[in-house]
Every structure is written in C-alpha cells, then in structure tokens.
Structure 1
Amino acid sequence: MHSKTALSLALGIFFAASALAQQVTLPLPRLLTVMPMGGQAGTNVEVTITGENIEDVTELTFSSPKIAAKPVAGTTNKFTVSIAADVPVGVYDARVMSRLGVSSVRAFSVNKLPEVTRTKANNTVETAMALPVGTICNATMTKRAVDFYSFQGVKDKAVAIDCAAVGIDSRLTPVLILADSKGGDLKVNRTGGIIEFTPPADGTYLIKVSDLTYQGGERHFYRLALQNSPAQPQPQTATVSSMSWPPEGLAATAPAKETEPNNKDAQKITLPCDIAGAFYPAADVDTFEFTAKKGETWWVEVASERLGLNTDPFVLVQQAKDGKFADVAELYDIAPPMKVTSNGYSYDGPPYDAGSPDVMGKFEVKEDGIYRLQVRDLFGGTRTDPNNIYRLIVRQATPDFSLAAWAVHMTLRNGDRASLSKPMALRQGDSRAFEVAVQRRDGFDGEIDITMENLPPGVSAAGLKIGKGKPYGHLILTASSDAKRGFSLAKIVGKATINGAVVARPVRVASMEWPVKDAKGEIPSPRLMADVPVSMTDSEQAPVTIALAENKIFEAKAGETLKIPLKLTWRNEFNGTSIKVKAYGEGFSAIKEFDIPIKAATHELVLNLAELKIAPGDYTFALQSLGICKYSYNPAAVPLAEAEQKKAEQLLAAAAAEAKKIAATDAEAAKKAAEKQKQAEAAMTAASTRMKSVTTAANPTDTVEILISEPIRVSVKPATVTTASK
C-alpha cells in the first residue's frame, strides 16, 4: 500500500466493522449530464442538466467566457446556452454553482457543423433517423439495442463517419458500423476511429451505433458526425497522461515531416530534429538515418497517445556496422511518477496515471558513425488509419518538468473502493489535500515549489515542496471557519531553478469523469480539467478543524525538540475514541503516527528534529488522518419541505371541499373543480415524496472522511556550534 496516498490505514479493522453502512467522503456537488452535450458555434442551444448534490443551482458556467448560459424561466434544470461565433472547435468544461459550491465538470463540445438531437427511438432499419451529410447528431445510447441512422450517399463522393464518446466524458464504448440500405455490414470500427467510405453508387446507406457490451442510458451519450471526407476527428478532453506534453516552447507544428516510403529506405535527417509523422499504413515502420559523434547524448521524445490516440509508440536506435545495423537502444513507455493502482480498485497507488505509452528516453553515442532511428506503433500491425499521427523530437538535454494535481483518494481495509470526482468545493473550516505529481524531463531532478493564486476570499493554499528527485508533493487548500460563499478560477504553479534560472510551469488538475462508488465493478476514468475552479460555501462546515493554536512560523535549531500546540474544533459526532494522525510534507512525512483523542480541544505536537533528520531550512507540512463522523445532508431543507407539504395539504383540502360543494350544482364547474382537485393531489404527492427524500437524507449517516490540518510552517536554524565542539 502506498505509504502517503493511502492515508495510513492501521485503523482499518475498526473501519471494516461499519464499512457496509457508511458513505465515503462528505457529499460534493457533481454535474453528471448536459444534454445535448454540445452545440454549433454562433448558435443558442437549450440544455437539460442532471447531477447529484446540486440543489439550489444558481448558474451554469463554462471554461470559455465566450460560452454563456441563462436559466430557462420556470425550470430548475434547463438553461439556454449561447455560443459565440468565434468560439474555436473544441471541448470545454461545463459546471454549475450549487448550495455546496462548484460542481465537478462535464464536457461540452463546440463545432462548426449544424447540430441535431435525436428525439425518438431509431432502433430498426425502418425507423432509422435521416442524417444529412455535414451534420452532428447528439444522442444517448439505447440499452440492449442498436441506433440506426440513414444518409444519402453520392457515387464516388467520400464521407467520414465519427462517433465521439470516450473523449467527451461518455461511458459508452462505441461500435460504429457502415451498412447498406438493408442493414448489411460494409465497414466496422470498434476502436473509436473514423470510418472513411466512398459510395460505389448513389443510394441510401445506414450507420449503426451500439455499445461494445450493449450498455445504455443517459450516461452513455455520443456525438455522431457525418462529414465529407477528408475530416478531422472530433475534439477530445485531455488525458492525464498528456500532462507531460508539449515541452515548453515547442512550436505548434513540426518544421519537418516524414516522407514515405521510409520503411526500408531510410529518410536522411540531421540532429536535432522535430518531425511530424503517421503510423500509416498498417505495420508502418518509419526509419530515419543520421550521423552522430562519440560522446553525444540525445534525448528522444515521441508524442502520439498523449495527443489522444490509441497508440503505443516504440523507438529502436541502431548503428551501422560492417554493412549491417546493430541495435543500440530500445526506448519504451514514459513511466508514471507515482505507482498507480494495479487493477482499478486495490489501493496500491492512486487511480490517476500520469505515465504514457509514448516515448521519452535517451541514447548515448559510443562511436562516431551512421545511426538509424525507427519509429513504430506496437498496436499498429493491422490498423490502417492516417489519423494515427505522431511527433518525433530528438534533442540535446533540455532539463524541465511538467506537473499535474489531483485530490487525495482513500480506501477501506475491507476492499471497498471509491474513486470520486472531488471538485475544489470547500466548506467552512475545511482543509483538502491534493497530490502534485511531476514528470521530470531530460535529467532534471531539482526541488519544485508549489504555489496557488487567485483564490476566493477566505480560502488559502500552501504548497508542500516536491523534494530533490522526488516524484510528487502535496498542495493543501484551506477555508477559514468564517469564510463566505465565493468562487474563482485559480492558478497553480510549480517553480524550480534550472541552470541558474527560475522557471515556472503550470499545474493541471485531474478529476474523475464519473463518481465511481465501487471500483470493483467499474474501472475509474480520469481526465485533465480545462481550468481550476474553486468555490467556498457557507451552507455547511467541516466536521473538524485541526488548526494551530498560534498562527505563526515555528522556529527551532537543527537537532532540537520542537513543540507545536494545536487547536481542534469538533462540529460532528465521531465514532471511536481517537483519530490516528500522520503527516504530509518533505522531511516531515516520517513523523511517527500518533493519536488525538476525539473531542480533545487541544493537542501538543512534539517533533524530534534530530530523529527526523531535518536539515536547516524552511518547511511546510500538514497532518492527515481518517475519521468516521455522523453527517446530516442539508437538514435546513426539512422544515422547508415540511412547510411545503402542509401548504399542499391545505390546498388539497380546499380543492376537495370545493369539488364536493359544487359536484351536484353545475356539471361544467364540477369538472373544473375535479381537475383542480386532481392537480392538488399530484402536488400533495410530490410534496410528500420530497418530504420523505429530504428527511431521509438529513438522517445522520456514518461518513468516512479524510481529515487534513491547516498547513504548519517550521523554520529550522543551524545548530549552535560551541567552542568545545570546534
């Protein structure tokens, strides 16, 4: 089990006894669907949203200021979205502001093509929905069925068919089939790519869409694009693996291109180089030849999977000897900086993989001579797709780094595993921990300082330094106990000194596409977010706040014992008699686990700096634990629902009395009165259902929560050198 990210579950046996009856982490707002899930630039589109823990929604916003939304009057889940004409084609993040703050994000696609939304079933050849060429259709997959679309093909005029799903947050694994007018299969694509088709004759052709395992429902949505060929694939969200691409300062397009045929007859190049190529046709091996001198070291990077493609690049370097080429180096995948979960639910690492099947490595030239570099896709033996492109860079060492952050996750000893989207939505007195992983480039191994800017009032952040050569650090986000409701788009930055100069690199934030309550049955699917939305809510408070008794920097000399008084504010009932506490932070993560009694108002943290081997310097760390607290969801809604129910009862009684009074006097009036009574009965049923729902939610529930302290700052001074020691 990963020592820092798994949160030290020595108390797991205690948790296991009640695990089946508890929820994991406090509820956070999550936006689940936006339908339709995109629109044409320069148009308005009405969307319907669904989610969980998103009551009292006040606004729907996007990661582009050129996409705006207004609520549809008289509704609680509909918005009119206005997309400016100059919004570039792409995928943008949508999120809502609710009682608990900003929600998790959902992809919203913008294109230049006209768009339609399927509104009725089309699960047979006879009910196929007609789709004009040059159109995108938004739809949700029908469970245990196939969706049919028809179009009019023109002889020798090629079309491109593309079903976007995986790259737009859908849970659909699309199977795309091009068929004749009777439904006979002509071309099949099960890998999410484009089907290129040139009709042999004028006529009607069919497109069939299904899920690989015939799943369906509102979370299995897709955007089916039918265009004239050639066409680019629809845009996608960024994978977590793409956090290391592109290198800083790289041109948007490569200055050189591979030229076929270059499988056997090598393409001559000079180093350094930056070349655009494609794994095309099937089993393509692109070969580049160059001269190199003894003592040179060249770093090789290939990007393809990080461009959003289902590829696995491999590089082989060879040297010419005696008329033949001998292998010098094999360059494979980019290793993840942190060991990731091995099977999706065992917590032997986080559920976020910042590694990639792409290539980043080096080879050293031992002798002057002629060398060859071969690039191939290990998945490309049978695939012929010109869209499977790559970017090859060969350079001398350019030390640098890339960063990505994600909320700390947890598991329970009994194997229950939740991988939940965790938006940066804070409660009063809340502290949240985020892991910050680094991909180091070309030998860089220096320290990295993490900072966060542009936070809502009452919210602060402390970056826990990534140590020399270390793969990750932490970021602690803290809300004061009296902070007011607020929202901002923040910025996280990592700074390091490289070759004597301070460089700053952005930190991208990753989140789960869907809240996975039990990852034994569903593999979590994370991605990078487009920006860093942060919110503060004053509707709830954190179950406990672990703070400093004095807000100051604590000072001590190296080798001394440092005592730090803590102040604890307990707001919820907790199970057990104590919480077990460890620490995050370079140098201080070795603090031995200790107990803090439940309900203790104070605690003294004693640090043996000699035992911890803390060198002189300035440090920031935070304490971390797990606890099971009693949590009531939105209890303020109960009296409101009760009042609504009483009002409905009164209206129903009045309507029933009126209907009874005029029943025998006027047939027309009696009919209207009966209809009014029927409406009142429906309102009463709805009010009773809501009352039951909010009452159930407000009942205290055992909730396992990650408990993080406010950041603790320590300045360690050099030890005093005595005359005797000299």
Structure 2
Amino acid sequence: MNFLRFPKLATPAACLLALAGTATAAYPGFSTMKPNGAQRGTDAKVTITGERLDDFEGMIFMSPGFTQKSVDKVEKNKVELTLGVGADIPPGYYMMRVRTKSGISHMRPFFVGQFPNAEEKEPNNDFEVPQPATLNTTVEGLVTNEDVDYYKVTLKKGERLSLEVDGLRLGYVVFDPYIAVLNKDRFEVANSDDTILHRQDGFLTMTAPEDGDYTIMVRESSYRGAGNNYYRLHIGNFRRPEAVYPSGGKIGSTTKVRFIDSTGESFEEDVKLPADTDERYMLLPKSQGAPPSGNPFRVSAFDNTLEAEPNNDIATATTSAGDPIALNGIISEAKDVDFFKIPLKKGMRLDLRCYAQTLGSPLDPVIGILNEKGGSLGNNDDGGGLRRLDSKLTVNIPADGNYFIRVTDHLERGGPTFVYRLEVVASEPELAFSSPEYSVNDTHLRQFVPVPRGGRYATLVNISRNNVSGDYKWTVPNLPPGVKLLNDVMPGNLPNTPLVFEAAADAPLGGVAVPIKLTSVDPAVKTVGKLRQEFDMVRSGNVRYYSEIEDQLPIAAVEEAPYSLEIVKPAVPLVAQGLMDLKVVAKRKEGFKAPIRVFMMWKPPGISSLGEATIAEGQNECSFTLDANANVAAGKWNFVVMGEAEAGNGRVYNASPFCEVTTVPAFMTAPAMALAAVEQGKETELTCKLDGVQAFNGDAQAEVVGVPDTITIESAKINKDTKEVSFKVKTNEKSPVGKQGNLFVMVKVPVDGGLTTHRIAVGSTLRIDKPRPAPAAAPAAPAVAANTKPGEAKPAAPAAPKPLSRLEQLRAEAQAKK
C-alpha cells in the first residue's frame, strides 16, 4: 500500500510586500511556476515568475524528495531552473518557497504525478479539430475567457477512461473547471464539475460503450476563464476511488481498507499505518492503477469499531468498547440509521466528532447520543468545523451505564460511498502553537523567518493548551548555519511569547524548513507541542475555498538590513497601575533615511501599549508608553520590537535584541477621591486618602490629571508618611460646567535610577456648577411709630436670613422660575 502524506498547500494571498537588491532583506514575489508539476522520478525544467528574483539562490522544499539540480537563468522577474523529483514521492502536491539572498517568498504548490507531462497546444478549441492525446498522460493547459479545450483519445469498447483535473488546487484563483467526455455526435457520455473530495476540481470514470474516438472537453464551468486559469488534466485508465472504508486506523497497525468507486465497486488492500498521528495522511492503492491523488485517512491513537448490520435501532446496536474509540460505518442506503452501544462512566466529558465530508464522503452526518431509555443527551448536525457539514458534539455523562450513539444523513440519503468515522474521546492532553495573522485576509504575511545577517527576526506565537501545564522548551533542530534562537523556554503561565532568531554577521546565506516543537522540561510529561499554521490556498475576500495546515517553519539567513533597532533599558521598574516610556533607538546605515515602522511584538499579561510607532524620516528614536494594570505580576519580562522600512523597492525587517523590563508592586495606592463641587470662578479642594504606602526616600510629586486647561489644580508633595493629600482647585468663568470624570492622580516616586510613575485615585470626579444667582434684597425694616411712648420697648429688628444650603438654593431657583 502506497501512502501520501496530506500535501501542505497554500496560495498567494493579497500582495506580499518585498524589496529588491542584494544588500537588503526583502520578500521576493512568487507568482507562477510552469509547469505546475512533473512526473516523479524525472528532472523537471521549471520557470518561475515573480518579482525581485534577480538575487535568486534556491528553493526551500517543505517536503523531502526534491533536489535543485541547476539554476539555468536568472532575471529580475523570472528564474529558470531544473528540479529533481524523487521516484518515491507519492502523487500529490507539495509546497515550495523561493529563497533569494535577500528574503523568502510565500509558498506555492508543485504537483507530482505518475504520468509524463504534455502541453496544451492552441488552437484546440474546435470540436472538429481536437488536440490528440494519449492515455496515462497529464496535460498542462490554460482556459482563457470563453475558451474550450478539446482533446481526442481512441478507446476500445469496454475500455476504462478516467479523468481528474487540478484547477482550483493549483492555488492561483477561484477557478471552477468543468470536464466531460463527448462521443462523435457531441453527446456527453460522462461529465464532472464539483466533487466532495476535491471541491471545485472534478474527476470521472467511464467505460467506452463502443470502439472509436472520444473527445475530452475542458472549460470553466460558466465559460468565463482568465489568464491565470491553469489546469493539469490527468488522462488515463487509472481507478479513482471516491471513498475508503474504514476511513482511519490506529497508529502503527496494519489495517484492511476497502477502496470504493462511485458505482459501489470496491477492492481491498492491507495498509501499514505510520507510528505517529498525522492529520494530512492520505492513501493510494497499490494493487490497482493509482489515481493522481490520494484519499484522506485518519490516523489516531485508538482502536476501530466497524459497524455490523443490522444496527438500525437501539436493540441491534453494534457493541463497542468505551472511550477512546473510533466508530466506522457506511450509511449505505436511503433512510439508513446506524446505532452503536458504548459503556460510559458518570462524570465523563466526551467529544464526539464525526468525519465525513472532511474525508471525501458525500454524507451530511447528524449525530446524537441517547441513554438506555432512549432519552437524548444531545444532537448535532453541522458543528464539525473542518468541513461545514461535518458534526461535533460535547456531552457530560450523568450516570454509569450503556449509551447509544446514532448516525444518519441529514436528508436521509445514502449510498456505497457515504462513509463516516466518529471518534469518541475524553479530553486528551494537547499542545499546539501558531502565529497570528498579521494582515486582514492574508494568512501568508510574515509567516516565515528571514533573519538578516548581524540582525534578528521576531515572530509571535500563540499557545493552545488542553490539559497541559508547566514550562516547555523550544526544540528547533537543523537551523541554518550561523542562526540561533534567542529564547528557549515557553513559561507555562503565558498564553503567547515572541520567538527571536539571530544571525551572525558572517552567517552563510541559506535556508531550510525546520520542524519546530515544544517539549516539556519535565521528562515525565510526554505531550509534545507542534506548529499548526493554517494557510489559505485559495481565497476571495472573506471566503476561503481551500486552506491547508503547515507544521514546519521556513528559516533563512539573508543579507543584512540597512538599519538596526535597540530598546533602551529602563533605569527604573514599571509599577503596578503605573506608566513607563520605553524608548527605541535606530542606527542607520549611511544614506538610509526612510521612516521605520516599529512593531511592539509582545506584551506580558497586565501590560498594554500601542501596537506600533514610527521613527520619522531621518530621525532615530520613537517610544512606546507601557501601561500596567493593578494586577500585573511582579517579574522580569523580555520585550522586543521589530522594524519595517521601505528600502529600494520593498520592505525590510529587522528586530531588536531582547530588553528586560522589571515590574514591581506599586509604592502606594488610593481609591477614587470624593466628589468635589465648585462654582465657576471659585475654588475648592480634592482630597486623596492614600493606602498601603511603601517606604521610599525623599518627596514624590503628585498632580491631578485629566482636567482641561481652564481648570488649575496645584500639585502637591508626598512622602512615605503621607496619609492624605489635598489639591487646591481653581476655576474661572470659562471652566466647563458639568462633571470632569475619569480623573486620576499621577505620582512620580523617586527610586534608585530615577522616578517611577504611579496612577492612583483612578476614576475621581470634579463637578463644575453655574454661579448661583444673587439673593433677593431683604425687605425694609418697619418704621418706629412716632408716638411711641417713653419707656415702651421698641419693636425687635428682623432676624438675619438663614444661609441656604446648596440644595435649598436649587429649590429656590426652581421655584422662582415657575
């Protein structure tokens, strides 16, 4: 049994910006590769087109078996070379990158087939004058707008003719090829447009009904076509299985597999499975003529259970062992339902994932789990994720006992190729990592490591853990000579980390694809972390038509950059709930004055900052303000920035060395100050009550931050013994009426090396009110009667009016307005 590891395919996304010239590191463009494939065991003369290729050095092969025999011609936008294609490489597609002295390109696929190549020769768009073709040949062609390509083959009655087209999978654009076989009367004997296995790329098999010539037609399904609608058409008498059953097996085992054609005809072979899981593993038959591509096959660390018919209800359910287990079956006819019985324990949390369309099956699976009384614990239709119509269900088991898993098709269809594999597993330890997308709708940008001589390249990796904890270390074998990784430990308490690679000034130019991994510092922990980087193969806007997974990191030493960056080590620590300016200094080569965008590659938990800053043209500095929250952990953290600059006709990247920043607890804290209210033009005070003051030497300067210029708040001094501090507030007639919220007190505390900046009393508020209206004039005192007799008491003078509270004033003003 031949097997094919699932090819690692990606496509050019929107433009990958690059830089020409042999003196600076840049991205070469990689637009086309003609031919798009070759026969295994041969030497292939290949022409690459793109941009900034005049300093071409070689290819980076993402899979073994390929060699670069010679570089025959190099131009600015074109390279001609000869590739050796190993005889043992199974049919399929494999990824390659262009490497120049100045950078690494994105990936493109190269197809390996078992047939020799032939080229389309125009004109061949007339049914009456088709291009002759021979069986077991791969034709490389192009469908332009409204173009139809015709090929003629001669068959004997009963002879098998199989076609398969690679169009969308070549990774250029959203190309939807249509293929058909026509008889002499122009009637279609067989045709294919879309397939479950290959999406927009079709395949077909037919048996010649009589001796004679048959015409093969290739076109775009809507007769559109374009200048980059390339195809590889495989013409032969090979067998093209649509599905295999079972669709997976246990690692290291020998498994009997049945290859199933669209008609239901099948044949069996034994396959020896690899010793490790591989989500891209594929099968190719050995006893029959192998097709141009394999069938996906799941390789898992647990056993298989195969359905035993009849199993259409709970009473006849196929019995299986407990988790983990893989349940395999075929919904072989309309309205077929498969049941499996499995013993489970109370408290178990299980993932049930049904693979069908992921494996090329037309089944739209609906899965469910029931208890012994037929009560449902859950159902799922389209939650599988990998392909939209596959299913996934997570359940909690409420009690010990037997449970029943149900599988059927959403539309109650069925057929001989409606295979499925349902994996039932408890939560398994898993560790994976990948880099984020650095640009919207472009999964390729900066997903490789061109390290400039005498400089560095930085990338961020996000860590995904499932039942895995503790510190891990990076394992990066076979780095290019002169290149090293500057950080080797992945702390178990962090969700991500920057990886910084450095190249010696005299590092030889060269590059490789590296199988980077994470291994536990605890030898008792066997879980290994792997790179799982997803790339778009074909994308249009937000729609992904094809995407594949890569587990190797391409790394190369390239020419030096025209600038370098360094973070100035702070003289003081960053305090919790504090601020710090982190300065970045550039050193430019003579004559290089372009602006440099500077990216903050990583921030530890609890610290935020802007993601980028710019060193202006001809300038040499910029800074980032680090903002620590109240819960930031005390520790030492390695910061790194990476620069991006236009140099020549492309972008050049170079990263700084690591710079250590220390975080410590705050020297003081304070709650929000009590609300203070003042009228326009008057004065008041804001009072701050300090909590938890640590000892420090000298006086700290404190000021309230967040008010407009029309409000003056005097600063104050604080020492280690201060428990309360007041700030005098002065307003004028232009001070805005209303609340001034989100104020805080900035305190600069002296420490060894300088001042640390604290923010306390965050969320304080000052209210400005309109001036109160002048009080109404008091009534005149009554006159003393002129005839007051001597000795009589004079009337008492009226009492002075009682001062009104602010609330009473507001009420009086409201009453006066009525």
TM-score, scaled relative to structure 2: 0.59
What are the equivalent positions in structure 2 for 1:205-244 lying under 5 Å apart? Answer: 205-217=214-226, 219-228=228-237, 230-232=239-241
State the one-letter code of the partner of 1:373: I
User: Do the aligned partners of residues 407 and 373 (structure 1) sit closer, same or farther apart at CA in structure 2, a change above 3 Å counting?
Assistant: same
- In 2, Cα distance between the equivalents of 1:513 and 1:593? 28
State the one-letter code of the partner of 1:271: G
State the one-letter code of the partner of 1:270: A
Of residues 101, 104, 107 in structure 2, which corresponds to 1:105? 107
CA offset at residue 307 of structure 1? 5.0
> Any idea what SS the aligned residue of 2:50 has?
strand
Q: Is the 8 A contact 1:135 1:226 kept in 2?
A: yes
Of residues 352, 363, 367 in structure 1, which corresponds to 2:395? 363
State the one-letter code of the partner of 2:54: E
The answer to whether structure 1 residue 548 and structure 2 residue 571 are counterparts is: no
Q: Is the 8 A contact 2:73 2:81 kept in 1?
A: no
User: Do the aligned partners of residues 334 and 469 (structure 1) sit closer, same or farther apart at CA in structure 2, a change above 3 Å counting?
Assistant: farther
Q: Is the 8 A contact 2:380 2:392 kept in 1?
A: no
User: Do the aligned partners of residues 381 and 497 (structure 1) sit closer, same or farther apart at CA in structure 2, a change above 3 Å counting?
Assistant: farther
- In 1, Cα distance between the equivalents of 2:611 and 2:448? 29
> 1:179 — aligned with what?
182
The answer to whether structure 1 residue 401 and structure 2 residue 431 are counterparts is: yes
- In 2, Cα distance between the equivalents of 1:250 and 1:523? 26
- In 2, Cα distance between the equivalents of 1:306 and 1:452? 31
> 1:493 — aligned with what?
517
Q: Cα deviations across residues 231-282 of structure 1 (Å, max 9, x unaligned)?
A: 2479xxxxxxx99778xx9549964434566556643323232244456667
> 2:604 — aligned with what?
586
> Any idea what SS the aligned residue of 2:608 has?
coil
The answer to whether structure 1 residue 436 and structure 2 residue 461 are counterparts is: yes
> 1:507 — aligned with what?
531
Q: Is the 8 A contact 2:16 2:445 kept in 1?
A: no
CA offset at residue 452 of structure 1? 4.4
- In 2, Cα distance between the equivalents of 1:385 and 1:618? 61
* 5+ residue gaps, structure 1: 1-21, 235-241, 336-353, 412-416, 634-702
> 2:250 — aligned with what?
none
> 2:558 — aligned with what?
537
Q: Is the 8 A contact 1:407 1:435 kept in 2?
A: no
> Any idea what SS the aligned residue of 2:565 has?
strand
- In 1, Cα distance between the equivalents of 2:220 and 2:177? 5
The answer to whether structure 1 residue 333 and structure 2 residue 352 are counterparts is: no
> Any idea what SS the aligned residue of 2:56 has?
coil
> 2:351 — aligned with what?
299
Q: Is the 8 A contact 1:445 1:469 kept in 2?
A: no
> Any idea what SS the aligned residue of 1:85 has?
coil
The answer to whether structure 1 residue 318 and structure 2 residue 370 are counterparts is: yes
CA offset at residue 210 of structure 1? 2.1
User: Do the aligned partners of residues 23 and 534 (structure 1) sit closer, same or farther apart at CA in structure 2, a change above 3 Å counting?
Assistant: closer
> Any idea what SS the aligned residue of 2:640 has?
strand
More strand by share: 2
Q: Cα deviations across residues 370-404 of structure 1 (Å, max 9, x unaligned)?
A: 433234566x8779683x75432212332213333
User: Do the aligned partners of residues 114 and 268 (structure 1) sit closer, same or farther apart at CA in structure 2, a change above 3 Å counting?
Assistant: farther
Of residues 433, 449, 456 in structure 2, which corresponds to 1:424? 449
The answer to whether structure 1 residue 34 and structure 2 residue 33 are counterparts is: yes
The answer to whether structure 1 residue 290 and structure 2 residue 342 are counterparts is: yes
> 2:672 — aligned with what?
none
More helix by share: 1
- In 1, Cα distance between the equivalents of 2:97 and 2:625? 43
> 2:716 — aligned with what?
none
CA offset at residue 29 of structure 1? 1.2
Q: Cα deviations across residues 163-186 of structure 1 (Å, max 9, x unaligned)?
A: 123334243222233333333234
Of residues 209, 233, 242 in structure 2, which corresponds to 1:200? 209
> 2:809 — aligned with what?
none
> 1:646 — aligned with what?
none
> 2:319 — aligned with what?
268
Q: Is the 8 A contact 1:42 1:86 kept in 2?
A: yes
User: Do the aligned partners of residues 499 and 328 (structure 1) sit closer, same or farther apart at CA in structure 2, a change above 3 Å counting?
Assistant: farther
State the one-letter code of the partner of 1:37: N
RMSD: 4.9
- In 2, Cα distance between the equivalents of 1:153 and 1:719? 85
- In 1, Cα distance between the equivalents of 2:517 and 2:414? 40
- In 1, Cα distance between the equivalents of 2:146 and 2:414? 28
> 2:67 — aligned with what?
68
User: Do the aligned partners of residues 62 and 24 (structure 1) sit closer, same or farther apart at CA in structure 2, a change above 3 Å counting?
Assistant: closer
- In 1, Cα distance between the equivalents of 2:61 and 2:580? 47
- In 2, Cα distance between the equivalents of 1:495 and 1:604? 36
- In 2, Cα distance between the equivalents of 1:46 and 1:477? 34
Q: Cα deviations across residues 190-227 of structure 1 (Å, max 9, x unaligned)?
A: 22343232333333333322223445456322222234
User: Do the aligned partners of residues 162 and 438 (structure 1) sit closer, same or farther apart at CA in structure 2, a change above 3 Å counting?
Assistant: farther
Q: Cα deviations across residues 461-509 of structure 1 (Å, max 9, x unaligned)?
A: 5589587695x65544555777663323323223458996253222144
> 1:392 — aligned with what?
422
> Any idea what SS the aligned residue of 2:605 has?
coil
Of residues 569, 576, 585 in structure 1, which corresponds to 2:587? 569
CA offset at residue 51 of structure 1? 1.9
- In 2, Cα distance between the equivalents of 1:176 and 1:284? 32
Q: Is the 8 A contact 1:428 1:537 kept in 2?
A: yes
- In 1, Cα distance between the equivalents of 2:577 and 2:47? 61
State the one-letter code of the partner of 1:424: V
Q: Is the 8 A contact 1:152 1:203 kept in 2?
A: yes
State the one-letter code of the partner of 1:535: A
User: Do the aligned partners of residues 183 and 318 (structure 1) sit closer, same or farther apart at CA in structure 2, a change above 3 Å counting?
Assistant: farther
User: Do the aligned partners of residues 231 and 594 (structure 1) sit closer, same or farther apart at CA in structure 2, a change above 3 Å counting?
Assistant: closer
Of residues 160, 169, 172 in structure 1, which corresponds to 2:171? 169
Q: Is the 8 A contact 2:531 2:552 kept in 1?
A: no
> Any idea what SS the aligned residue of 2:129 has?
coil
State the one-letter code of the partner of 2:556: S
TM-score, scaled relative to structure 1: 0.66
CA offset at residue 707 of structure 1? 8.2
- In 2, Cα distance between the equivalents of 1:167 and 1:500? 43
Q: Is the 8 A contact 2:518 2:530 kept in 1?
A: yes
User: Do the aligned partners of residues 95 and 115 (structure 1) sit closer, same or farther apart at CA in structure 2, a change above 3 Å counting?
Assistant: same
> 2:252 — aligned with what?
none
> 1:128 — aligned with what?
130
> Any idea what SS the aligned residue of 1:409 has?
coil
What are the equivalent positions in structure 2 for 1:645-684 lying under 5 Å apart? Answer: none
- In 1, Cα distance between the equivalents of 2:361 and 2:151? 26
Structure with the bigger RCO (C-alpha within 8 Å, sep 6+) is 1
Q: Cα deviations across residues 266-315 of structure 1 (Å, max 9, x unaligned)?
A: 43323232244456667875443334344333332334555577876553
User: Do the aligned partners of residues 452 and 139 (structure 1) sit closer, same or farther apart at CA in structure 2, a change above 3 Å counting?
Assistant: same
Q: Is the 8 A contact 1:463 1:474 kept in 2?
A: no
- In 2, Cα distance between the equivalents of 1:536 and 1:289? 57
State the one-letter code of the partner of 1:493: K
